[in-house]
Homo-oligomer: A and B are copies of this chain.
Amino acid sequence: MYPRRILEEKLLHLLAEDVGQGDVTTSAVVPSKCKAEANVIAKSDGVVAGIEETVTLAEALGLNVDCFVDDGVKIKENQVLIKLTGKAATILTAERTMLNLLSRMSGIATATRTLNEKINKAKLKTRIAATRKSAPGLLYFDKKAVIIGGGDPHRLHLDDMILIKDNHIAVAGNITEAVKRARQNASFSKKIEVEVTTAEDALKVAELGVDIVMLDNFSPQEIKELMKHWKKKGFCGIMTEASGGITSKNILEFAATGVDVISMGELTHSVEALDISLEIVKTV
């Protein structure tokens, strides 16, 4: 989503952190004129994400890139994803930064896709969404991986949408006051979402005219109950989002309630990296 040159800057910045004052191993062991060919290889099955980032960084460093997969594609163990050709020293110095990003993004995409397929198989329509519970500094990459996995990024950051949570309500005094202020002060270009902990509050804020209601720590049963009132009241243009206590085990119960969105912090705060490695296959 970034223009390529802006993406390049971000990636070079990440590489620079890892390089420090220079890759002393490669300097000592690899002659600067030596050329090599290397494969980026999946070491387990999953959904790949971070291909655009890997290609962009490799090309920015002067490597030639043959890319065999697109972001979002399912990959198999031992599948070659990308072939890099060029200065051996460049490949070796950038190896870890490329793999770290690719593995993390693929891990996120894989987890998201798995949940999505579960829901699709059950013929349900609920969207899986990420939250802002991410690794600091990696919001952009984490959210992009969620999108590639078929999820919804939710707010990209704090300037994105009005999302009134428990702490905002605590400061505003009560939920009605908080929503009133939001409707008065927010730009017309922003949606307004409110987090509620009771069905009563859910109905109250729906009446006040918000765009989305986040049902925090509701059980599937409580949500089903609420959905009945929702239809009766004609709130169907107002979206609902379930959040809290949702796992891959119980996700179908939540999805079956008819809630529009299910958001899960663990998609980005507790990532299991997909195992991907790089192998030098030829030197010249």
**Interface residues, chain A, with chain B CB atoms under 8 Å away:** 1-6, 9, 12-30, 34, 36, 38, 60-62, 88, 90-97, 99-101, 103-104, 107, 127, 129, 132-140, 143, 152-168, 170-173, 178, 181-182, 184-191, 193, 212, 237, 239, 260-261, 266, 269-273, 278-280, 283
Given contacts A1-B24, A104-B136, 12 further A-B contacts (CB under 8 A): A1-B23, A5-B60, A14-B137, A18-B158, A20-B156, A24-B190, A28-B182, A29-B164, A88-B171, A100-B136, A170-B279, A270-B273
A3 and B30 contact, CB distance less than 8 A: no
A159 and B20 contact, CB distance less than 8 A: yes
Complex Cα spacing A27 to B97, Å: 26
Count of identical protomers in the assembly: 6
Give 13 A-B contacts (CB < 8 Å), ordered by A residue: A5-B62, A24-B159, A25-B168, A26-B168, A28-B182, A30-B168, A92-B168, A100-B133, A100-B134, A101-B136, A153-B189, A161-B190, A166-B280
B136 and A94 contact, CB distance less than 8 A: no
Contact of A22 among B1, B21, B163 (CB under 8 A): B1
Q: How far is the CB of A211 from chain B (nearest CB, A)?
A: 8
Q: How far is the CB of A55 from chain B (nearest CB, A)?
A: 13
A25 and B100 contact, CB distance less than 8 A: no
Complex Cα spacing A251 to B30, Å: 33
Nearest chain-B residue to A22 (Cβ)? B1
A189 and B160 contact, CB distance less than 8 A: yes
Complex Cα spacing A218 to B172, Å: 41
B269 and A170 contact, CB distance less than 8 A: no
